[in-house]
Amino acid sequence: MSINSHSHDRSLTRRLATSLFAAAITLSTAAASFAADTIVLRVGDQKGGNRSLLDISGYAKDLPYKIEWSEFPAAAPILEALNAGALDVGYTGDLSFLSVYAAGAPIKAIGGTRSDAKTQAILVRQDSPIRSAADLKGKRLAGTRGGWGQFLIDATLEKAQIKLDDATFAPLGPVDAKIALLAGSIDAWAVWEPYVSFATLKDKARVIADGEGLTPTITFIVASDSAIASKRAAVQDLVQRLNKARLWSLDHLGDYAKNTAELTKLPEDVLFSAYTAQRTSPIVIDENVVKEVQEASDRATRYGILPKKLDVSQAVDRSFTAAAAGSN
């Protein structure tokens, strides 16, 4: 091991020790701090997201800081709020995060989860003549711009040796794309869970391609540079709680689906199908993850989804999950 590696390890140990010490001090003076200058984390969420996961799993108890939750209809406005300084922490798909980071947002990916790449899929109507990716030439394909939808469409076309210009991309969010697919104004729709399970179980849509081998399917926990600098111990604790809650969910998929169905009004069978297929698990942001996301980032730049080549290692802060991994 090099001197620099030893120095890095000592630095990481010092940061972790400082975080744990700060958390212990906060806990021991909880009554006083809640009455005075409690640390407040402003966290962006979506209905049935991280807030409910923490509540359902029991990991929302005994917080040594206060969380001020804000609910958003999608990940894009969470990223906008982080960029504007209105939030400390949020979450979003890997490529959506990189799109905003590329535009200069003062944010970093500090943790996250991985889902099975097959749960990103391209759907067609039950009566569609489209049977495989090879049939997508000349078709109108909908997905989110700058995120998983657009990337999966481009990667699928490339794999099928179809030029990107030989299909029409329709930039639509999931709600509008679902309506458009059922109405027949688009030919196919690139989306993720639980939309895939809903469309296949309730609308009898068919999957004709998926993201296996094409996309990392990572959802990043994202924090502002300001929160990383000024609220590190609280942010670290939140990352650890989310990781533990996610592991809890893997052992309680039925309970998780039932509780989330009550919150979101989505059918319980749809959520159970989605959660079972995804097997969403916490990740450590290590060299392998950085390399994998770098490869996806470079492809997204080549597709024109990202405006320039990015250095993914500069877009992440690996210390949060390194510390979390070492403390479990």
Tens-place pLDDT, residues 250-272: 999 999 999 999 999 999 999 99
Strand, coil or helix: what is 129? coil
Averaged pLDDT for residues 16-38: 43
pLDDT of residue 323: 59
What would the CATH number be for the domain defined by 117-210?
A: 3.40.190.10
pLDDT of residue 8: 40
Between CA 191 and CA 198 the distance in angstroms is 11
Strand, coil or helix: what is 226? helix
pLDDT of residue 262: 94
**pLDDT cut 90: percent of the chain above it:** 84
Average pLDDT, the chain: 89
| pLDDT at 5 exceeding the cut of 60 | no
149 pLDDT band (50/70/90 cuts)? very high
With contact defined as beta carbons under 8 Å apart, do 315 and 98 qualify?
Answer: yes
Peptide bond into 129 cis (omega under 30): no
| pLDDT at 93 exceeding the cut of 60 | yes
**Which burial class, exposed, middle or buried, applies to 175 when counting CB atoms under 10 A from its CB (0-12, 13-18, 19+)?**
exposed
| pLDDT at 186 exceeding the cut of 70 | yes
pLDDT of residue 32: 37
| pLDDT at 11 exceeding the cut of 70 | no
Tokens 């406005």, located at residue: 77
Peptide bond into 282 cis (omega under 30): no
Global pTM value: 0.85
Averaged pLDDT for residues 150-162: 97
Residue 146 backbone class (left: φ over 0; alpha: ψ -120 to 50; beta: rest): left
Q: Which tokens go with 218?
A: 């990572």
pLDDT of residue 322: 84
| pLDDT at 209 exceeding the cut of 50 | yes
pLDDT of residue 37: 63
CATH topology of domain 3-115+217-327: D-Maltodextrin-Binding Protein; domain 2 (3.40.190)
Please tell me the least confidently modeled range out of 25-29, 183-187, 194-198. 25-29
pLDDT of residue 1: 41
Tens digit of pLDDT for each residue in 48-84?
Answer: 999 999 999 999 999 999 999 999 988 989 999 999 9
Please tell me the least confidently modeled range out of 22-36, 245-259, 260-274, 293-307. 22-36
pLDDT of residue 29: 38
Strand, coil or helix: what is 69? strand
Q: Which tokens go with 235?
A: 């942010």
| pLDDT at 41 exceeding the cut of 90 | yes
Averaged pLDDT for residues 182-210: 97
| pLDDT at 218 exceeding the cut of 80 | yes
Residue 291: CB atoms within 10 Å: 11
Domain ranges in the chain with CATH number 3.40.190.10: 3-115+217-327, 117-210
> How many helices (H) and strands (E) are present in the chain, helices listed first?
14, 11
